[in-house]
């Protein structure tokens, strides 16, 4: 007789196979996560309130930025983040970076570059895709209502 596999055992749990972290370890993990991420709703509310202390940076190409971007965002493509291209930014401000979507790591790569230059940085989770999905305003040459799609352009 074959031994039962974990997936067929009635009392086996894929969720609980790895024990959950202690409450303190979980608190530390989620605090660390929040220290490097923000979401579209929080950013929009702070922008509406005129909150200072951060700069929004679109890390996509100049062409993608021209088509659609978050109002007021600067365009510094991720691969061009250097001491020279960031010289006008204050290290007193937190840099909020974004790219296309959760499937794009361009903002993550740019965040590494900003941090290496001594900037505090957070990534906008969901990128421009989730900003648009939330119905938040954008600027650019695309007509309103045109969806954002991937690296090659729009639908």
Predicted model pTM: 0.86
pLDDT average, residue stretch 85-99: 98
Instruction: Please check whether residue 72 lies inside any domain of the structure.
Output: yes
Instruction: Please check whether residue 104 lies inside any domain of the structure.
Output: yes
Residue whose tokens read 């031994």: 3
Instruction: Please check whether residue 56 lies inside any domain of the structure.
Output: yes
What lies within 8 Å, CB to CB, of 43 at 6+ separation is 56, 70, 96, 124, 131
DSSP 4-44: PPTTT-TT--TTTSSPPPPHHHHHHHHHHHHHHEE-HHHHH
Split into its structural domains, the chain has a count of 1
Strand 54-58 and strand 148-149: pairing?
Answer: unpaired
Task: Check which CATH number belongs to the domain holding 56 and give it.
Answer: 3.40.250.10
In this structure, the chain runs to a length of 155
Instruction: Please check whether residue 31 lies inside any domain of the structure.
Output: no
Instruction: Please check whether residue 23 lies inside any domain of the structure.
Output: no
- Which pLDDT tens digit goes with each residue over 1-47? 555 566 567 789 999 999 999 999 999 999 999 999 999 999 999 99
Which residue range forms the structural domain that includes residue 66?
A: 37-138
């Amino acid at each position: 007789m074959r031994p039962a596999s974990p997936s067929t055992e009635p009392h086996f749990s894929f969720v609980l196979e790895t024990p959950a972290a202690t409450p303190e370890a979980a608190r530390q993990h989620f605090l660390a996560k929040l220290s490097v991420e923000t979401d579209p709703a929080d950013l929009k509310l702070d922008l509406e309130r005129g909150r200072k202390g951060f700069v929004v940076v679109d890390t996509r190409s100049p062409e993608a930025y021209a088509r659609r971007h978050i109002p007021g965002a600067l365009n510094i493509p991720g691969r061009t983040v250097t001491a020279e291209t960031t010289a006008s930014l204050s290290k007193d401000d937190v840099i909020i970076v974004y790219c296309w979507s959760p499937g794009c790591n361009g903002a993550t790569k740019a965040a590494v570059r900003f941090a290496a230059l001594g900037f505090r940085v957070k990534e906008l989770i969901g990128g421009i895709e989730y900003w648009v999905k939330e119905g938040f305003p954008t600027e650019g040459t695309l007509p309103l209502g045109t969806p954002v799609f991937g690296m090659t352009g729009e639908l």
